Structure 1
Amino acid sequence: MQKGRKRPTHHAGADKSKTYPVTETIELLPFLIKNISGAGRNVVKNILAHGQVAVNGKSTTAYNYPLQPGHTVTVSKERPKEKLPFEGLSIMFEDEHIIIIKKDAGLLSVSSDSAPPNEVTAYRQLMAHVRLDNPKNRIFIVHRLDRDTSGVMLFAKSEAVQQQLQNSWQSAVQERIYVALVEGAVKKENGTITSWLKESKTLKMYSSSYPNDGLHAVTHYKVLRASKAFSLLEVQLETGRKNQIRVHMEDIGHPVVGDKKYGSRSRAIGRLGLHARVLAFTHPITGKLVRFETEIPKLFLKPFQKEE
C-alpha cells in the first residue's frame, strides 16, 4: 500500500466532521475501519459507542448497520454534549447569554436559609449544566419563583447580563402573565388591585392600610373560567413584588388554592394554584423581543371538569 494514499482524511481539516460516501454493500464497523485512517478497531468502536457516527444524517451506534451504495457516513470529531438529567425543570431556550426554564411546582429556585444545605434547586442544576462546557461557567439569578409556583423562569449566564436585565427589568419585560386558580366565584370579569406591600416579622407579606407605606404593587386580572367554588384567572403583573399575587388574591377574598399562608382552605389540586405562564422581554444583547409561553397546567382545569 502506498504511504500517502489515505492522507486527505487526516485533514478533515478545521471541520468538526468528515463525510464518507458508501460505494459497496458493507457493515458499518468494517467500513469505518477501512476509511478512518490510522484508527484501529477499538478506537472506531469507541467513536461509534459515543454517538459520533451518522448514516444519512441519522446518528447510530450499531456496528453491524447494513450500508448500501449511495449512503453517506458522517463521523464527527466531537462527542455529543453530555446531558444532565434535570429534576423538576426543563430548558425551553438557551443561548450564550440567557437560559429560560420551565420550573415544576415543588422545586426551589435557589437555596434559602430554611432549606437543607444539599437540597436540589434550579440554580444548582443549571450551574452543573453550564459547567459541562467549561468548569469556569456560571449562572446568575435574575428573578425568582416561589417553590410552589411553577412556570417560566429566566437566568443569566454572566454577571453583566444579569445586571442589565435587573436594571432594566421594568422596561425590558413586556409581558409577565400568570394563571391563578383561586377560591370562590370572582364576580368582576376583570380588575386591578393596587396596594403597598410590607413584610411582617414572620416573613409574611401584607398590604398596608396606609398609602405610600411599603412597596407599591399593581396586579391586573381577568376571569378565564368560573364556577361557584373556583375561578381561573389570568393575572398580569405591573410590578413584581414578593408574594404579590398571593397577597392581592387574599385581599379581594379569593385566595390562591392551596395557599394556606395567605388564607386558602382548599387543597383541591394538591399544590399551589399559581403558574407563571408567559414571560416576554427584550433580549439584553440582541435587543429583540423574545416570548416564552407554557400551557395552563391540566390540574388547574380539573375543578371545572367535575361540574360540566
Structure 2
Amino acid sequence: MEYIIDKDYADVRLDRYLRKNFPDLSLTEIFKGIRIGKIKVNGKKSKQNYRLQEGDCVKIFFEVKEKDRSEDIPEIDSNIIDDVKKHIVYEDENILIFNKEANMVMHKGSGHQFGISEILKAYLNNPDFNFVNRIDKATSGLVIGAKNLVTARELSEEIRERKIDKKYYIVVNGRIDKRDFIVKSYLKKLEDRVVELDKYEPGAKESISRFKVIRSGKKHTLLEGTLGSGRTHQLRVQLASMGHPIVGDMKYGKEKARFMFLFSHYLKIPKYGIKIELPIPEEYNKVLA
C-alpha cells in the first residue's frame, strides 16, 4: 500500500503520521515496521522521527486498515448547528473565528456528548477542523479554529511565539483607582486551582498581565486585560490576589452571577491579516450602573 503525502502532513513525523492514519497499528508495530523496512519512505528505510515532505511516498508492506476520516464527523441535530453558526464572526478557507458564550463547552467529555468543536466539524463536514486555542468554560469571547492541519500548525506556532494579540474585557469587584497597571508574579498549578507566588519555586511560571481601567461603577470596575504570558487562569488568579476578583468567578471569588465577567473581545493575527474587535457586552455596562 502506497500513500502520497500532501501538504497537510508536510513536516509531520513519520511515526505520528502512521499513528493518526492507521489507529489499528500500535506504536510497537510502527517502530518495528520502520526498523525492519516493512514501512519505507520513497523506497528507502527511514527513521521514526523523519519529518515527511509534500510528495513523499510512504509504502507499507503489510495489510493494515486505514482510518475512515468520516467517522470523525459526528451526527449533530441541524437545529443545534444552526444555533452555533450564529456565533461565527469570521470565516475563510483556512480559519474560523468563533464568539463563545459563557458556559459553552469547547470539546466533548466531562459529561458532554459534544462541544463547539464537534458541532463545527459537523457544520463544515470537515474532520480536520480544530480549535488552536481554548478558553475556560466560564469565559466568553473569541477563539480561533483551523480548517486544516497546515493552518493549525502555523497558528499554533504564532501563539507559541506570542505573535497573536488578544485582549479581554473584565468586570471585577471593587473600585480600582489606577488608570493602568502591570501585574508580574509567579503562578503554580495545584490539584484543582492555581495559586500566585511572590517569588519563584519549583513548578511555578512567571506570569505578566497588563490592565487598563475602562470605567468604574459604585461597586465594580471594568478593565481591559492583556496577557504577557499565557498561563492557566492567569487573569483570574492575579486579580483575585489583588483583592479584586472577577464577578461571577466562584473558584477565586465570591460574588455570584449568571456567568463570569471575562470576555475575550479583541483578536489580531498579523500573519493572516485578521483583526476583530467586539463591543463591550450590554451586561457589563449594566453591572457597573
Band of TM-score, shorter chain = 0.5 to 0.7
Query: For each residue in 1:137-183, what CA deviation from the matched residue of structure 2 results, as whole angstroms up to 9, or x when unmatched?
Result: 42122110111111111011122221221122154634210000000
The answer for unaligned runs of 5 or more in structure 2 is 1-77
- Give the 5 Å matches for 1:142-291: 142-171=132-161, 173-201=163-191, 203-211=192-200, 213=202, 214-262=204-252, 264-267=253-256, 269-282=257-270, 287-291=271-275
TM-score by length of 1: 0.63
- From 136, 140, 147, the counterpart of 2:130: 140
1:203-222 deviation per Cα after TM superposition (whole angstroms, max 9, x unaligned)? 20111333264222111001
What CA distance in whole angstroms lies between the structure 2 residues aligned with 1:145 and 1:89?
19
For residue 276 of structure 1, give the secondary structure of its aligned residue in structure 2: strand
Q: What is the DSSP-based 3-state SS (H/G/I as helix, E as strand, rest coil) of the residue aligned with 2:283? A: helix
Residue 86 in structure 1 maps to residue 80 in structure 2? no
Letter in 2 for 1:149: T
- Tell me if structure 1 keeps the 8 A contact 2:130–2:145: yes
Q: Please state whether the residue corresponding to 1:164 is helix, strand or coil.
A: helix
Please give the secondary structure, in 2, of the residue aligned with 1:138: coil
Which of the numbers 96, 100, 105 marks the counterpart of 2:102?
105
Q: Is the 8 A contact 1:199 1:206 kept in 2?
A: yes
TM-score by length of 2: 0.67
Instruction: Verify the 8 A CA contact 2:219 2:288 in the aligned structure 1.
Output: no
The answer (yes or no) to whether the contact 2:218–2:288 under 8 Å persists in 1 is no
CA–CA distance in 1 between the matches of 2:169 and 2:230?
A: 15
User: Shift of residue 117 of structure 1?
Assistant: 4.1
8 Å contact from structure 1 (residues 88, 103) kept in 2? no
d(CA) in 2 for partners of 1:289 and 1:172? Answer: 16
Q: Counterparts of 1:56-135 in structure 2 under 5 Å?
A: 84-87=81-84, 90-112=87-109, 115-118=110-113, 120-131=114-125
Q: Report the alpha carbon displacement of residue 227 of structure 1 after superposing the two structures with TM.
A: 2.7
Match of 1:74 in 2: none
Q: How many correspondences in the alignment?
A: 210
Q: CA-to-partner distance for each residue in 1:25-69, whole Å, 9 max, x for gaps?
A: xxxxxxxxxxxxxxxxxxxxxxxxxxxxxxxxxxxxxxxxxxxxx
More helix by share: 2
Identity fraction in percent: 25
What stretches of structure 1 of length at least 5 have no aligned partner?
Answer: 1-81
Aligned partners of 2:195 and 2:237 also within 8 Å: yes
- The two structures, once aligned, show a CA RMSD in angstroms of 2.1
Structure 1 residue 96, shift from structure 2 partner? 1.6
Q: Secondary structure at the match of 1:197?
A: strand
What is the letter of the counterpart of residue 240 of structure 2? E
2:131–2:143 CA contact under 8 A, matched in 1: no
Contact kept? 2:182, 2:208, Cα under 8 Å: yes
Aligned equivalents of 2:152 and 2:83: distance in 1? 23
The answer to whether the Cα contact below 8 Å between 1:89 and 1:101 also exists between their aligned partners in 2 is no
- Determine the C-alpha separation between the residues in 1 that align with 2:118 and 2:213: 36
